């Protein structure tokens, strides 16, 4: 066994960020491999998922999940292979979905991992279209959005792993789908490859006017991934009894204070009442874990048959994770961002 195989490497949280995480917020560490005990597995990380929620876990304060503590490994979903097994039903070489975090090796209780098929053509898909982002899109749209044929849906971050899936699923339900993305290339991809009816660049000076023109009959479903100027442009267009599944608001994640300007709360609250708008946040596995098998049974054939299209942006090397997370938070990614660890 080589020296690199005997040690693990990874990123710990070194300090809490103010705004965008700087290099000083992370610490690169190397240590001895932990030894798995009875019922545990030693896992080698192959792919690490990067997701917007990670920024929130870097902050101290009450949330739906505890914050990462200073000196702890950054959290993250991983696809790994078993190196040593002290648990029945697992053997070296098995693929598993785990929460190994930002490190190239980890120890996990067997009960806390999901065994994956050894014949997966794309193991990393378990972190994207067949994992948390795809599941988020599926349940948020079907359970909260409740799409009906002929309705208009708007989704932000339209070429990201959640937004792209939401839009394609809504098209299968017969909706008219308007995407919002950053840049001409992303907008063209949403229309030409994902089948959206239109996609607008939120960076355009007249974005608000373009959106109103693209939604002449108003908006029945707005799948909220972004917040910020996209939310402000969409909200006045919502129809009576519109549904707004809220799974993210990445435009706010690096803000350390309330934005300046007029308080829009009275307008938002009165519109919610007058139009009987349903606006509901959700945490995917906390709220819908019992539906995961149903989701996989439905989505896997669609992906294999090409009914649902999926795009990954793979970054080689765990050392690039901090910079890649900031790219993701700025919207500079194109597709689901995954770190190829080894």
217 and 278 fall within a common domain: yes
Count other Cβ atoms within 10 Å, centred on residue 68.
21
36 and 169 fall within a common domain: no
Nearest partner of 46 among 98, 108, 110, judged by Cα: 98
18 and 122 fall within a common domain: yes
303, part of any domain = no
69 and 211 fall within a common domain: no
Query: Residue 283 and residue 161: Cα distance in Å, rounded?
Result: 16
Nearest partner of 246 among 288, 283, 292, 219, judged by Cα: 283
291, part of any domain = no
CATH of the domain at 182: 3.40.50.720
Q: What's the pLDDT score for residue 256? A: 75
Q: Tell me if 9 sits within 8 A of 23, measured CB to CB.
A: no
62 and 46 fall within a common domain: yes
Q: Render 245-305 in DSSP notation, one character per residue.
A: EE---GGGTT-SSPPSS---HHHHHHHHHHTT-EEEE--HHHHHGGGHHHHHHHHHHHHHH
Query: Residue 79 and residue 301: Cα distance in Å, rounded?
Result: 21
15, part of any domain = yes
Q: Tell me if 223 sits within 8 A of 247, measured CB to CB.
A: yes
Q: What's the pLDDT score for residue 5? A: 59
CATH of the domain at 52: 3.90.180.10
277 and 262 fall within a common domain: yes
pLDDT tens string, the chain, 342 residues long: the values are 333 456 889 999 999 999 999 999 999 999 999 899 999 999 999 999 999 999 999 999 888 889 999 999 999 999 999 999 999 999 999 999 999 999 999 999 999 999 998 878 899 999 999 999 999 999 999 999 999 999 999 999 999 999 999 999 999 999 999 999 999 999 999 999 999 999 999 999 999 999 999 999 999 999 999 999 999 999 999 999 999 999 999 888 888 777 788 888 999 999 999 999 999 999 999 999 999 999 999 999 999 999 999 999 999 999 999 999 999 999 999 999 999 997
Encoded tokens for 16: 């809490």
295, part of any domain = no
Q: What's the pLDDT score for residue 3? A: 38
212 and 158 fall within a common domain: yes
Residue 315: which domain range? 3-126+310-340
71, part of any domain = yes
The helix/strand/coil state of 68 is coil
120 and 177 fall within a common domain: no
Query: Residue 212 and residue 230: Cα distance in Å, rounded?
Result: 12
70, part of any domain = yes
204, part of any domain = yes
138 and 96 fall within a common domain: no
Judging by beta carbons within 10 Å of its beta carbon (0-12, 13-18, 19+), is residue 217 exposed, middle or buried? exposed
Count other Cβ atoms within 10 Å, centred on residue 334.
18
Number of domains in the chain: 2
296, part of any domain = no
User: Cα 283 to chain center, whole Å?
Assistant: 11
Query: Residue 223 and residue 58: Cα distance in Å, rounded?
Result: 25
106 and 146 fall within a common domain: no
146 and 114 fall within a common domain: no
323 and 267 fall within a common domain: no
């Amino acid at each position: 066994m080589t020296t690199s195989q005997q040690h693990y490497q990874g990123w710990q949280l070194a300090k809490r960020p103010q705004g965008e995480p700087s290099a000083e917020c992370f610490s690169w560490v190397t240590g001895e491999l932990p030894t798995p005990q009875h019922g545990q597995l030693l896992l080698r990380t192959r792919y690490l998922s990067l997701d917007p929620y990670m920024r929130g876990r870097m902050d101290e304060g009450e949330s739906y999940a505890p914050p990462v503590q200073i000196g702890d490994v950054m959290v993250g979903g991983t696809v790994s292979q078993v190196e040593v097994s002290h648990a029945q039903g697992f053997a070296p070489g098995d693929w598993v979905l785990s929460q190994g975090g930002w490190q190239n090796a980890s120890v996990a209780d067997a009960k806390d991992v999901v065994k994956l098929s050894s014949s997966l053509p794309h193991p990393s898909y378990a972190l994207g279209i067949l994992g948390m982002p795809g599941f988020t899109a599926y349940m948020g749209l079907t359970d909260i959005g409740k799409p009906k044929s002929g309705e208009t849906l708007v989704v932000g971050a339209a070429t990201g792993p959640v937004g792209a899936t939401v839009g394609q699923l809504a098209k299968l339900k017969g909706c008219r789908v308007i995407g919002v993305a950053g840049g001409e290339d992303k907008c063209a991809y949403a229309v030409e490859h994902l089948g959206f009816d239109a996609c607008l660049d939120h960076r355009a000076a007249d974005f608000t006017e373009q959106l109103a023109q693209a939604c002449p009959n108003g908006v029945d479903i707005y799948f909220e991934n972004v917040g910020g100027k996209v939310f402000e442009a969409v909200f006045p267009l919502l129809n009576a009894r519109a549904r707004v599944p809220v799974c993210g608001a990445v435009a706010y994640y690096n803000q350390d204070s309330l934005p300046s300007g007029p308080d829009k709360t009275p307008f938002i609250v009165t519109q919610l009442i007058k139009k009987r708008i349903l606006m509901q946040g959700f945490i995917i596995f906390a709220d819908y874990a019992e539906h995961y098998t149903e989701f996989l049974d439905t989505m896997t054939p669609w992906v294999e048959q090409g009914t649902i299209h999926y795009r990954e942006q793979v970054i080689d090397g765990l050392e690039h994770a901090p910079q890649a997370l900031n790219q993701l938070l700025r919207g500079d990614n194109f597709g689901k961002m995954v770190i190829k660890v080894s």
